[in-house]
Amino acid sequence: MSKMITLSLPVAARESRGDSRDRTIETTEFEAYIAEPTGTPRGGLIVIHEVWGLVDNIKDIADRFAAEGYLVLAPDLLSSIGIDAHIGFELSAIMKSPDEKVRSEGQPRLREAFAALRVPEFASWALAALESSVDYIEAQPGVNGRIAVTGFCFGGSYSFALAAADPRILAAVPFYGAPPESTTVSQIACPVLAFYGETDTNLIESLPQVTESMEAAGVNFVAKVYEGAGHAFFNDTNPFMYRADAAADSWRRTLEFLDSSLPD
């Protein structure tokens, strides 16, 4: 069974907002998609969407994990800044358009839509919302503290961030996420399995430093790079970037990793 639910920021996060007028921190409630397995869950899993928001593709991924036995929560982190699923679909269509003119003319709209992501208050709000998501998953019957996180692109970056911020996370699986701040790497207490595409230049160039930082901090970090693949290789709604072989292999590895990291 799957449905949308409404969650609230933790009380401490709500009280710390003061009288700021920034809408990303005025928002104290957010929606999330929950997908429930049949029977007792093998654990709880937070799935963090791409920069397009909580679109159907992410809901489908949540359903796939639920079919594997996990209780899955996919929070909507971007409606707070005006990027709901409808808008996210439109923005994604601009980026994926085969018409170069559409992509070029759409750049101002994309820049405007994503400007709020660079505001520091948004990152604080998003982490508070993710910790509230962990609160919810932790309280569900059968989870028994077995909680992991995975995410894609924007969600991959926040998978790193949540693993550093919340010790209740026992495993993290970032897909092509930007590297975590070096000051937070030492706070990651769980194993991390990270996926990258070989042609995703910026992330690949930073990977040696990320690996070195993880090793220095004693983090159990494994990076898998797929030859010939780029950013968003897992997204089967992106005809330009999707790579079926890399997606299938990373799915298999993710399930094996979760199974070993969230034991009964």
Per-residue confidence (pLDDT) for residue 187, from 0 to 100: 96
Do 197 and 153 form a contact (C-beta atoms < 8 A)? no
Per-residue confidence (pLDDT) for residue 142, from 0 to 100: 96
Predicted confidence (pLDDT) at residue 180 exceeds the cutoff of 60: yes
Band (pLDDT 50/70/90 cuts) for residue 89 is low
Locate the domains of the chain by residue range.
Answer: 2-261
- CA distances, 161 to each of 52, 166, 185, 263 (Å): 19, 9, 9, 23
Per-residue confidence (pLDDT) for residue 110, from 0 to 100: 65
82 versus 124: which is more confidently predicted?
124
Do 148 and 254 form a contact (C-beta atoms < 8 A)? no
Letter for the amino acid at 30? F
Look at 25-29, 75-79, 201-205, 259-263 and tell me which has the smallest mean pLDDT: 25-29
Predicted confidence (pLDDT) at residue 238 exceeds the cutoff of 50: yes
Predicted confidence (pLDDT) at residue 19 exceeds the cutoff of 50: no
Cβ neighbours of residue 25 under 8 Å, at least 6 residues apart? 17, 121, 122, 124, 125
Alpha carbon distance, N-terminus to C-terminus of the chain: 23
Residue 222: name the closest of 174, 156, 152 by CA: 174
Neighbours of 16 (CB within 10 A): 13
Pick one of 1.20.120.420, 3.40.50.1820, 3.90.380.10, 3.30.2420.10 as the CATH number of 2-261.
3.40.50.1820
Helical ranges in the chain per DSSP H = 11-15, 23-26, 56-67, 85-96, 100-105, 107-114, 120-138, 154-165, 201-217, 244-261
Distance CA(3)–CA(18), nearest Å, equals 32
Per-residue confidence (pLDDT) for residue 88, from 0 to 100: 58
Distance CA(10)–CA(213), nearest Å, equals 31
Per-residue pLDDT tens digits for 52-61: 899 999 999 9
Band (pLDDT 50/70/90 cuts) for residue 50 is very high
For all residues of the chain together, what is the average pLDDT? 88
Q: What does the pLDDT average to over 7-36?
A: 69
**What pTM was estimated for this model as a whole?**
0.89
Do 232 and 209 form a contact (C-beta atoms < 8 A)? no
Predicted confidence (pLDDT) at residue 262 exceeds the cutoff of 90: yes
Exposed (0-12), middle (13-18) or buried (19+): which is 117, by Cβ within 10 Å? middle
Exposed (0-12), middle (13-18) or buried (19+): which is 69, by Cβ within 10 Å? middle
Per-residue pLDDT tens digits for 64-74: 999 999 999 99
Per-residue confidence (pLDDT) for residue 52, from 0 to 100: 87
